[in-house]
A and B are shown apart, each in its own frame.
Chain A
Amino acid sequence: MLKDITLGQYFPVDSIIHRLDPRYKIVMIMIYMIMIFSGDSVICLAIGFVYTALAVALTKISLKVYFKSIKPVFPFLLFTALLNILFIRDGDIYFHWKFIKITSEGVNTSIFMMVRIILLLAGTSVLTYSTSPIVLTDAVERLLSPLKKIKFPVHELAMMMSIALRFIPVLIEETNKIISAQKARGAELDSGNIIAKAKSLIPILVPLLISSFRRAEELATAMECRCYNGGEGRTRLRQMKSGKADYIALSVTVFFLILTMTVNIKLK
C-alpha cells in the first residue's frame, strides 16, 4: 500500500495543461497570484474565476478532486471569515447587538478573502496535479539557474530535493519495518498518555536515523562511482522544450493580468 505513495498529488492524465513546459507553468502561477491578489472589485474576482475555471477544465481532472483539496482548509477559511466579520467595524451597519457589530466592509472583506484563497488553492492545485514533483524540482532548478552566477547553490538544492523525493517511500517502508520489529519485541506504541506515546517514538526514530546515515553514505559512494562531481558541465536526459502551446498559454495569462489591472484602475 505504502509502496505506491506519490508525493504531491500528481494525476497522470494526458491533457494540454499536463503537456505544457513546467517552467512556463511556474511563471504562470506567479502571474496568477499577482492577478488574484491585486484585483479588489467583484469584476476582478470574476475574471480570476473565469481564468481558474478554464485552467481546471483543461486539466481533464474531475472537479471532485479539486474539491477534496479545498475541503480540509474550509473550517479554517470559515473561521478567518468570521473573525473578519466581527472585527472590521467600518462601513454601513447591518446588524448591531451589544458588542457584535456586522458592517458592510466586514462582510465584503471576508467574502473576498474566502474567494481569493479558494481560487489560489484551485490554481496551485492545477500546477501540482498536472506536474510531477520531480519535474517541478527540475523546472525550478532551471528557472533559478541564473542565480548560479552569484554563487547560489541551485543545483545542490535541486539535487537534495530530488534525492529526498526519491527516498521518502523507501524510508516509509523502513519505518513500518522498524515499527513491526519493535512491536514484536513488546513495544507498546499506541497506549498511554501523550508523553508515553512520544517516548515510545524514540525506539523507532533512533534506528531510522542511524540507517538513514548509512544509506546516505552508501548513496554518496555510489554517486561518486558514477562520476558525480557537482552541477558543473552536466547534461540532462530530460529536455524541456517550449512550443506554441506554451507561448499561447503565457499570452492568455498575461492578458488576464492586464484585464484585471485595467478594471482595477478604471473602478478607482
Chain B
Amino acid sequence: MSIIRTENLCFSYKSGDDENQIITEVLKNINLDIKKGEFVSILGHNGSGKSTLAKHFNAILLPSSGKVYIDGIDTSDESRLFDIRKRAGMVFQNPDNQIVASIVEEDVAFALENMGVPYEEMRKRVDDALKSVGMYEYRFHSPNQLSGGQKQRVAIAGIIAMRPECIILDEPTAMLDPHGRREVMKTIKNLNKEYGITIVLITHYMNEAVESDRVIVIDRGEIILDDIPENVFSQAEKMKNIGLDIPQTSELIYLLGKEGIKLDSHIITEEKCVEALYELLKG
C-alpha cells in the first residue's frame, strides 16, 4: 500500500510585477511512491526544493500541475483537507515556532482539541503520545523549561496524538545540539519500528540518512537518486557533483579507492567499515 504518491508533480511560483514576470520552477515532474511503514530520507542542499516537496505532502502547498495522493486522497480536494492532515502530520525545523500552548500536555492536545475529540479519548491519546516520545514526566512543564531536543519531541508528540499514518519531518534536528539530535533520531526510529508509522525525514545530515530504509536525493527540483542508502552513498562522485556530502565511512572508502585500495563501496556503517579495514590490514 502506498501512503504518499505523486504523479508528475510540478510546482512553480511567479514573482516580479505584471510586466516582467519571473516564473521559478521549484519542482519538476516528481514521481514518487512511498509505501506504508517505510522510513524515507530526502536529501538535497539548500534551495533544492526538498522543503517545498514536503509541504505538498500535507496540502500546505498544492501542485501547479500533476497530482499528490495521500492514502489515496487527492490533496487538491479541499473538502478532505483535514482528513489529509490527520493522516500526514508535519514537524518543522524550529521547535519553538510550532508549540502553541504554555503547558506540554496542552500542546500535545492541541490537534485533538481542534478535531473535537471527546475528553476521555483525548486524555488517553495525549498520555500515549507523550509516553511514546518519552516525555510523559514533563507533561506539566512549560515548553520554556525544556531543551531543544525535548521541545522537538513534544512537537512530535503533538503530531503522534493525531494517530497519523505518516509523519513528515522537515529538518527536525537542524537547530539542535548533537545530544538533542540523537534524542530526536532515536524517537523517530522508535516510532517507525514500534508503531509502524511511515517516516519521511528531510535532512542534510548524512549520518541521519544512513539510518533510513530509502534515500531520495533531490537537486534543482528533480529526483537524482532513489535507492537504499548503500547504493546512494556508494556513488560518491555523483553526490559530490551536486554539492552534497557523504557519510564519513563512504568518504574514507572513496578516498582509499582513489589511492588504489579497493574496499566494498556499499559499506556505510562504522562497524562494517572497521571490520573491512581490519580484514584488509590482516590480509
Chain A residues in contact with chain B, CB under 8 A? 3-4, 134, 162-163, 165-166, 169-170, 215, 218-219, 221-229, 233-239
Q: Which residue in chain B gives the minimum CB-CB distance to A165?
A: B102
Q: Is there contact, CB below 8 Å, between A215 and B103?
A: no
User: CB distance A3 to B113 under 8 Å?
Assistant: no
Checking A3, A226, A239 against B114 with a beta-carbon cut-off of 8 angstroms, the contacting residue is A226
User: A236, B113: Cβ atoms under 8 Å?
Assistant: yes
Task: Jot down 24 A-B pairs with beta carbons below 8 A, ordered by A.
Answer: A134-B102, A134-B103, A162-B100, A166-B99, A170-B96, A215-B97, A218-B94, A219-B97, A219-B100, A224-B85, A225-B60, A225-B85, A225-B90, A225-B159, A226-B111, A226-B114, A227-B86, A227-B111, A227-B114, A227-B162, A229-B82, A236-B119, A237-B113, A239-B119
Residues of B in contact, count (CB < 8 Å) = 40
- The answer to whether A235 and B118 touch across the interface, beta carbons within 8 angstroms, is yes
How many Å lie between the Cα of A229 and that of B78 in the bound state? 13
Q: Within 8 Å CB of B142, what residues of A? A: 169
Question: Given A225-B90, A228-B114, are A235 and B119 also a contact pair (CB < 8 Å)?
Answer: yes
Contacts of B119 in A (CB 8 A): 235-237, 239
- Quick check: A218 and B92 within 8 Å, CB to CB? yes
Cα distance, A235 to B118, chains bound together (Å): 6
B interface SS class: helix
- Residues facing A in B111-170 (CB within 8 A) are 111-119, 122-123, 126, 142-145, 158-159, 162
**How many Å lie between the Cα of A223 and that of B89 in the bound state?**
11
Determine the chain A residues whose CB is within 8 A of the CB of B102 once the complex forms: 134, 162, 165-166
B-side interface residues toward A, CB under 8 Å? Answer: 58, 60, 82, 85-86, 89-90, 92, 94, 96-103, 105-106, 109-119, 122-123, 126, 142-145, 158-159, 162
Complex: A165 Cα to B86 Cα, angstroms: 27
* Given A166-B99, A225-B90, A234:B144 Cβ within 8 A: no
Q: How far is the CB of B193 from chain A (nearest CB, A)?
A: 24
Q: Which residues of B contact A4 (CB under 8 A)?
A: 144-145
Which interface residue of A134, A223, A233, A235 has the most chain B CB atoms within 10 A? A235
- What's the minimum C-beta distance from A193 to chain B, rounded to whole angstroms? 36
Name B145's contact: one of A3, A134, A166, A228 (CB within 8 Å): A3
A222-B103 CB under 8 A given contacts A229-B82, A235-B118, A237-B112: no
Tell me, rounded to whole Å, the shortest Cβ–Cβ distance linking B52 to chain A.
13
B93 to A, closest residue via Cβ:
A218
Q: Whole-angstrom distance between the alpha carbons of A225 and B61 in the complex?
A: 11
| From A221, A222, A227, contact of B115 by CB (8 A) | A227
CB B143 to nearest CB in A, in angstroms, measures 7
A-chain residues with CB within 8 Å of residue B162 when the two chains form the complex: 226-227
Q: What's the nearest-Cβ distance from chain A to residue B238, in Å? A: 33
CB-CB under 8 A from A218, the residues of chain B are: 92, 94, 97-98
* A222-B92 in contact (CB<8A): yes
Docked complex Cα distance between A238 and B113 (Å): 10
In the complex, what residues of B have CB within 8 A of residue A166's CB?
99-102, 143
Contact at B106–A237, with CB atoms within 8 Å?
yes
